[in-house]
Amino acid sequence: MIYEERCIQLKGGVLDEYLDWAVHRLWPTLESKGADPVCLLNGLIGASSDELLWIIGFKDYSAWESCQWTIAGKAKSQKPRNWIASEAVNLMMPSPYRPVGPVAIDERRAVYGARRWWIHPEDWSEFNRLSHDGVWPAMDYMGHHVIGQFRHAATTSPLEVLNLAGYDDVAHWHATRSPEKHDVPDALRDLLTALGRERNQLVQKSLVCLMRAHWPD
């Protein structure tokens, strides 16, 4: 699988129209073409509400290429292009751990932390191991759920990594910052502390914004 990260800046006043079209028209159309929409998010904290993020999976490059006009629109005067001020796309490679397939209904969350790290490209495998073995078990215990961790397909220095972790709401995100207050088992807390520290040592810089998720019915 390869994944597309599509970052969209909408024109003012068109968010509701775009979301209605994207969730009820574009999402099922992509699925009918064999694509795997992972999520559609828009800014909540740290990004404006008119900033959108799509992650869409495709079985290979040819499948990705065949869907481009479907996503972008064929005519400049028609939707969605008449709603979009600008957009940028990156091809992404997934972590070997997540995603594991289409996001199940019980794994969907209302709010996502879109966290980006920059690391040395040779640290990608170790970064994923430390995430999977050390950080995610304690966080999952508190109800968060990572639907995917990705890197840019191109190898660059530094290498950009994107993690999408879901929460019930903003308060839930805040609560998971303090695992010692949530009866996380000692073994999981110890892993989070030790391997989380190791992972942090691989990071050159990071940033996070909270985004609202939009799911089909």
- Residue 76: band (very low, low, confident or very high) from pLDDT cuts 50, 70, 90: confident
Using CA atoms, how far apart are residues 97 and 149, in angstroms rounded to an integer? 8
Tokens for 156, please give them. Answer: 């660059």
* pTM of the model as a whole: 0.95
**Contact present, 95 and 199 (Cβ < 8 Å):** no
In order of 97, 133, 139, 180, 200, the CA distances from 193 in angstroms are 20, 12, 12, 11, 10
Q: How many residues does the chain have?
A: 217
For the domain with range 105-213, which CATH number is right: 3.30.70.100, 3.65.10.10, 1.10.3720.10, 3.30.1490.70?
Answer: 3.30.70.100
pLDDT tens, position by position, 99-139: 988 899 999 999 999 999 999 999 999 999 999 999 999 99
pLDDT at 166: 98
Helix (H, G, I), strand (E, B) or coil at 182: coil
pLDDT at 208: 97
- Residue 188: band (very low, low, confident or very high) from pLDDT cuts 50, 70, 90: very high
Using CA atoms, how far apart are residues 97 and 134, in angstroms rounded to an integer? 13
For the domain with range 2-93, which CATH number is right: 3.30.70.100, 3.30.70.1230, 3.30.530.20, 2.60.40.1180?
Answer: 3.30.70.100
Report the percentage of the chain scoring pLDDT > 70.
Answer: 100
Using CA atoms, how far apart are residues 20 and 189, in angstroms rounded to an integer? 41
Look at 15-24, 56-65, 176-185, 194-203 and tell me which has the smallest mean pLDDT: 176-185
Q: What is the mean pLDDT of residues 40-58?
A: 98
- Residue 180: band (very low, low, confident or very high) from pLDDT cuts 50, 70, 90: confident
pLDDT at 112: 98
192: nearest Cα among 158, 123, 144: 144
pLDDT at 8: 98
Which residues of the chain form CATH 3.30.70.100?
Answer: 2-93, 105-213
pLDDT at 179: 86
Using CA atoms, how far apart are residues 103 and 3, in angstroms rounded to an integer? 14
